[in-house]
Structures are given as structure tokens and as C-alpha cells.
Amino acid sequence: MTHQMVFGVDEAGKGPAIGPMIAAAVRVADRGHLPDGMADSKDLAPDRREDLAARLRSADAIAVGVCAITPDRIDDPETDMNGLAVAAHTGAIEAALADADHGSGADVDPPAGVCDACDTDADRFARRVTDACSHPIDVAAEHGADADDPLVGAASIVAKVERDARMADVAETYADAGYGDPGSGYPSDPKTRAFLEAHVDETGRLPDCARRSWATCRDVLADAQQSGLADFAGE
């Protein structure tokens, strides 16, 4: 009789102008080990997400893997977000499988999992993750899997809580500098834009936590430089 571990993978922070992208993988030998209430992290209140993430991390029958893609890596001109998403999902899967037998025995099938697709072509994304992983795995990718598959929902919860914790660290780092609250890091967040503008106005450069290649960050820097030129011309 064979048995097969299963896992779900999702990421948080693909689109923000500040902070890392985080991917998480949640691996179980039996889906029945998942706590009740797993869902797309966007549908859960922060306190509920944090409680579920803590339960997932503390459960003996569940393994959690996390992979962070830093702003510097995101800004590398030799990369693109689809490729970085593949790397993040692969890193999270390998971390979740690190303490397991990956199929070396005849009675163990290669782990099988579902990724929330980060490519318009879900099958291509699954192939790229499969090829990138150093372990033999069987991967499928689906759009909206975080809402449809509780195991991927579990991964989305872990990824979101980890991303929020990293942003809390960013806020703490800059708390005494007078730049304000960095907010969620998303371009649509007024706090994020105000934080970037305050940092550039004070230092003449973007903060280390910023994704400098993002349009929002480039615009803030360009506006400050233009304003500086205007002030100089008016003297």
C-alpha cells in the first residue's frame, strides 16, 4: 500500500511597492489533519488569520515552508515576477518537504500539490515549478485555488500572516525616523505613498524596503527630483 503527502502553495505580496513577496507551502499526509476554517486569507479577519497560522505551524502532523523574495531580488533587471513567483513557490515547497521522505521508498508516492497559479497559463506555471523543484513532485496549478482548495487556503493564510509580520518589522524599523506608517505597502494605500514621499523628501532616496523598480517608487523619486529642480530654478 502506498501513501502520498499532499501540499498547497500560495503567495502574498506580489504587487506591493514595499516589502518582500512571501510564498508558503502547507504539507500534510492527510487532509483531515487541517484545522477547520481554512479559506482564502483575504476573506478572514487579521486575528483569525493569525490564530489559524499559529495552529498550522504548531501542529505535529502539518509541515509549513516559507520562502521570501526580497525587494533587491525583485528589482534585479535579470528577473521577472513570473519567474520570481516560480522561485518562491519552489522554495516554499522544498522547505515544507525538507523533513520528509520524498519518495525514496517503494511504498511512498512523490508528494502531490496544488499551487495558486501566478501565470495566466496555469499549466505552464505548474510545469515550471515542477522543473525547478529539486525533489520529485506532482504539481498542478489553478487560478483561484486559495478560495477553492482548503490546503491552498491554508498556505495563503500562512503567507499573508508572514508578509504582515515582515511589514510590521518595516514599520518598527522606521518608527522613530518621522516618515510615518508604511501601511500595507500597496500602491493604492495612501499611507504607503506618504511614507515613500516623506523618506525621499528627507533623504533624497527611496528606503531599503522599497521596490525601486516599481512605478510607484519611480514616480515618487521623479516627483521629488522635479520639485527640487523647480525650487532651485526659483532661487
Which residue ranges make up the annotated binding site for a divalent metal cation? 10-11, 116
CA distance 146 to 153: 4
CA distance 146 to 152: 5
| H or E stretch at 49 | helix 46-58
Kindly list the distances between the CA atom of residue 91 and the CA atoms of 86, 95, 129, 133, 219, in Å, as whole numbers in the listed order.
Answer: 8, 6, 10, 8, 32
Binding site: residue ranges?
10-11, 116
CA distance 69 to 218: 20
What secondary structure does DSSP assign to 85-153, as a single string? HHHHHHHHHHHHHTTS--S-STTEEEEEEEEE--SSSHHHHHHHHHHH-SS--EEEEETTHHHH-HHHH
CA distance 198 to 177: 10
**CB 149 within 8 Å of CB 142:** yes
The CA dihedral of 89, 93, 94, 100, to the nearest 10 degrees, is: 180
Which among 53, 52, 4 is positioned nearest to 28, based on CA atoms? Answer: 4
